[in-house]
């Protein structure tokens, strides 16, 4: 099924999200991306909020983004920063890159929004080298039954439609494990500087690893 474009979301999201950077998001991005090196693929790069945080040891950056407005903004951002990044059209479910060719895949606040998490994670596993890292942060469904029920209800009636396909209730850790990744270096953290209701959600933060051969 072809992904539906979300031009309205792409219009309001960049300004709203940019305000969160100095409240703690930029520091989180910097912490996560600092160890990266080699060939890196970012999926759902949005307007390029991660771009200032890629270290010099990253030798090549390819960023895949389905929304045209985000791609334009990300290209502008890369140019401002003097960062060599190829920003290309595509979706996580069908990545337009070669098998086994990246040292790391970065996904920040993206697995909540992809149409098909299992397909996206299978693609991420395909394009990573053995031992490669899936790095990022994602808000996930709460463990308690009452909260999870509320999150599912919010997703169904309002949240997902207003927020570019985002879901509050996903079991992303389960999906990452199901896709065969080792999850020892993924922690659960609260990110209280994010807006409600995401501030109330647990966040998966860190690195999942594709097994070595
Ligand atoms: C909440 S924004 C996060 C943007 C950016 N990663 C960040 O950290 O600011 C979600 C992003 O995922 C992208 N996205 C949604 N569905 C996608 C899909 N199926 N494949 C790849 N990216 C997708 C959106 O276009 C948007 O850029």
- Other CB atoms within 10 A of residue 115 CB: 15
Q: Is the CB of 43 under 6 A from ligand 1?
A: yes
Assess whether the C-beta atom of 165 lies below 6 angstroms from ligand 1: yes
Interatomic CA distance for residues 170 and 54, integer angstroms: 28
Q: Which two tokens stand for residue 87?
A: 């920003």
In this predicted structure, the answer to whether residue 13 has a pLDDT above a threshold of 90 is no
- Measured between alpha carbons, how far is 196 from 3 in angstroms, rounded to an integer? 27
Per-residue pLDDT for 110 more than 80? yes
d(CA 146, CA 12): 31
Query: Does 3 score more than 90 pLDDT?
Result: no
Helix (H) or strand (E) holding 127: helix 117-127
- What pLDDT, in 10s, does the model give residues 14-46? 888 888 999 999 999 999 999 999 999 999 999
pLDDT at 204 over 70: yes
Among 40, 46, 120, 161, which residue has the most ligand 1 atoms within 8 Å of its CB, making it the best to mutate?
46
> What is the longest distance spanned by two Cα atoms in the chain?
48
Q: Read off the pLDDT band of 6 (50, 70, 90).
A: confident
Percent over 90 (pLDDT), the chain: 90
Q: What is the pLDDT of residue 154?
A: 95
The confidence score (pLDDT) of residue 2 equals: 59
Ligand 1 atom, smallest distance to 42 CA:
6
What's the pLDDT tens digit per position in 56-105? 999 999 999 999 999 999 999 999 999 999 999 999 999 999 999 999 99
> Is the C-alpha dihedral spanning 193, 197, 202, 207 positive or negative?
negative
* CA 213 / ligand 1 centre spacing (Å): 30
Domains, the chain, with CATH or none: 7-139+170-209 (3.40.50.150)
Residue 12 has pLDDT above 90, yes or no: no
Amino acid 7: pLDDT: 78
Res 189 pLDDT > 80: yes
> What is the structure's pLDDT at 141?
97
**Tens of pLDDT along 121-153?**
999 999 999 999 999 999 999 999 999 999 999
Which residue has the least CA distance to atom 11 on ligand 1?
A: 44
**Rounded distance between C-alpha atoms, residue 108 and residue 85, angstroms:** 17
CA–CA dist 120, 103 (Å, integer): 17
pTM given for the model: 0.96
Q: Kindly indicate the confidence band of residue 10, based on its pLDDT and cuts at 50, 70 and 90.
A: confident
């Amino acid at each position: 099924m072809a992904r539906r474009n979300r031009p309205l979301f792409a219009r309001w999201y960049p300004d709203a999200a940019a305000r969160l950077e100095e409240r703690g998001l930029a520091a989180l991005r910097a912490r996560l991306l600092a160890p990266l090196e080699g060939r890196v693929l970012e999926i759902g790069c949005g307007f390029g909020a991660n771009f200032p945080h890629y270290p010099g040891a990253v030798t090549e950056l390819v960023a895949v983004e389905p929304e045209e407005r985000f791609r334009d903004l990300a290209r502008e951002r890369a140019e401002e920063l003097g960062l060599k990044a190829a920003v290309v059209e595509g979706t996580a479910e069908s990545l337009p890159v070669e098998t086994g060719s990246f040292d790391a895949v970065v996904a920040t606040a993206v697995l909540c929004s992809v149409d098909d998490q299992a397909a996206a994670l299978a693609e991420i596993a395909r394009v990573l080298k053995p031992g490669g890292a899936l790095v990022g942060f994602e808000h996930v469904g709460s463990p308690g039954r009452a909260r999870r029920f509320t999150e599912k209800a919010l997703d169904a009636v309002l949240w997902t439609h207003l927020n570019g396909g985002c879901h509050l209730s996903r079991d992303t850790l389960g999906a990452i494990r199901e896709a065969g990744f080792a999850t020892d270096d993924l922690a659960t953290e609260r990110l209280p500087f994010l807006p409600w209701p995401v501030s109330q959600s647990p966040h998966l933060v860190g690195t999942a690893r594709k097994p070595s051969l």
